[in-house]
Structure 1
Amino acid sequence: MAEADSARRRPNRRGSATRESLLEAALTALASGQPGAVSANRIAKDAGATWGTVQYQFGDTDGFWAAVLRYTAERRANIFTSPDTSASLRDRVAGIIDTLYDGLTNRDSRAIENLRAALPREHADLERLYPQTAAELFSWGQGWQETCQKAFADLHVDPQRIREMAWLIPGAMRGIASEKQLGSYGDLDAARRGLTNAIVAYLK
């Protein structure tokens, strides 16, 4: 109900600008990783708004976090375009890995990682306390699976292996991206090539 109510509150230009300002403030605050950054009330103050404004635009904290997730999803919707059917299996896998490597250290990705870290780990708790946020995170997973299946659809790769690969890659890439942020002495280019080689060998 709160989500439907907030959707009806978006039509005027000023309201849309306020909404976007709050979402941008949320991403900046969350990406900072500072203590207390995962606070809708604090984010509202940073944006020069009130908690009442957040409630009017998003309904509640759950609606706000769900909107932040949706906002970032819309911004990256075109990152993975339709697959180049002339590209080899290796090139497609490498393309996915390189895209994630480049994207996982940007502001939006850092913000979402910090938000997720502050949310309940158990699905039952997340769905009880933040049902809209949980639904957005679930849709992310479904969308990612569909993206990966489409990326290899014309190559007749085992769909189950693609599904397993789709769950593996984000976690593996977060580890490599973390090494990048920490200033690792490891050869991260070699790490990406190794991951690419392993996945290609499994999918063949």
Structure 2
Amino acid sequence: MTTSAAGSAGHRPNRRGSETRQKVLSAALDALATGDPTAVSANHIAKQVGVTWGAVKYQFGDVDDFWAAVLGYMAERRGQLELRPDPEAGLEARVGQIVDLLWLGLDTPDVRAMNTLRGALPRERDELERAFPKTAAELAAWQSGWIESCQQAFADLDVDPVRVREMAAMIPGAMQGLTDERHLGTYSDMDDAKRGLRNAIAAYLSA
């Protein structure tokens, strides 16, 4: 569950306001998905939509509220990263499903947008939570939701939940590395890389 999906400005938007809100969120996603660091500017995004920063503040609140709302909007759209494990599949097959899910999902505009935003935010957790508490809460919700989904994916198997949590924390970064490698024109065989990662994780979880 996201913390900003219902709006952070403390009022119920009318139809025109809802349309403006949707346009701003969509423009923010498109701008961030380009990977351009200068896209991380609420004022710049407002100008793209043809509204003032004051209008954006009226709809969302301050900058923290705005980025939290953008992340909430992404969360509503993140069907590509929803785990739906086959209950008949064994451990190795389920790990393979997660690898395949991330291989596709991490190359979507939404994830690219999130990475652009994360790259512009403070790296230290304490600083992030102090400067952008609502945005930090959205990011934390994504992480906790992902770990919970991974735990549920293996809940009916005899797998150490601590190792599942470790896998859940590690595998998005590992898959992001493979995704980046794919775009760099690598000579590595990506199918071999994914298969190797799947086998290594399955071996660890079954040990």
Q: What TM-score bracket applies, with the shorter chain setting the length?
A: over 0.9
Moved more, 160-169 or 82-91: 82-91
Give the deviation of 1:9 after TM superposition. 3.1
Residue in structure 1 matched with residue 60 of structure 2 by the alignment: 58
Matches within 5 A, 1:135-154: 135-154=137-156
Give the deviation of 1:3 after TM superposition. 9.2
Report Cα offsets for 1:125-174 as digits up to 9, x if no partner: 10111000001111111101100000000012100000000011000001
User: In the superposition, relative to structure 1, how do residues 111 and 127 fare at CA in structure 2: closer, same or farther (>3 Å)?
Assistant: same
TM-score (norm 1): 0.93
Matches within 5 A, 1:171-190: 171-190=173-192
User: In the superposition, relative to structure 1, how do residues 6 and 35 fare at CA in structure 2: closer, same or farther (>3 Å)?
Assistant: closer
Q: Aligned partners of 1:137 and 1:23: how far apart in 2?
A: 17
User: In the superposition, relative to structure 1, how do residues 82 and 103 fare at CA in structure 2: closer, same or farther (>3 Å)?
Assistant: closer
Give the deviation of 1:6 after TM superposition. 2.9
Give the aligned residue type for 1:196.
R
Report Cα offsets for 1:22-48 as digits up to 9, x if no partner: 111111111112242110000010111
Contact conserved, 2:29 with 2:113, CA < 8 A, in 1? yes
Give the aligned residue type for 1:34.
D
Residue in structure 2 matched with residue 99 of structure 1 by the alignment: 101
Give the aligned residue type for 1:98.
D
Identity across the alignment (%): 60
> What is the alpha-carbon root mean square deviation over aligned residues?
1.9
1:84 equivalent among 67, 83, 86: 86
Give the aligned residue type for 2:98.
I
SS of residue paired to 1:154:
coil
Q: Which runs of 4+ in 1 moved over 4 A?
A: 2-5
Report Cα offsets for 1:83-106 as digits up to 9, x if no partner: 321111111111111111111121
User: In the superposition, relative to structure 1, how do residues 174 and 81 fare at CA in structure 2: closer, same or farther (>3 Å)?
Assistant: closer
Q: Aligned partners of 1:83 and 1:95: how far apart in 2?
A: 7
Give the aligned residue type for 2:108.
N
Residue in structure 2 matched with residue 196 of structure 1 by the alignment: 198
The size of the alignment, in residue pairs, is: 203
The answer for unaligned runs of 5 or more in structure 2 is none
Give the deviation of 1:15 after TM superposition. 1.8
Q: Aligned partners of 1:84 and 1:192: how far apart in 2?
A: 19
Report Cα offsets for 1:169-196 as digits up to 9, x if no partner: 0000010000112221211111000000
Residue in structure 2 matched with residue 29 of structure 1 by the alignment: 31
TM-score (norm 2): 0.92
Q: Aligned partners of 1:6 and 1:73: how far apart in 2?
A: 16
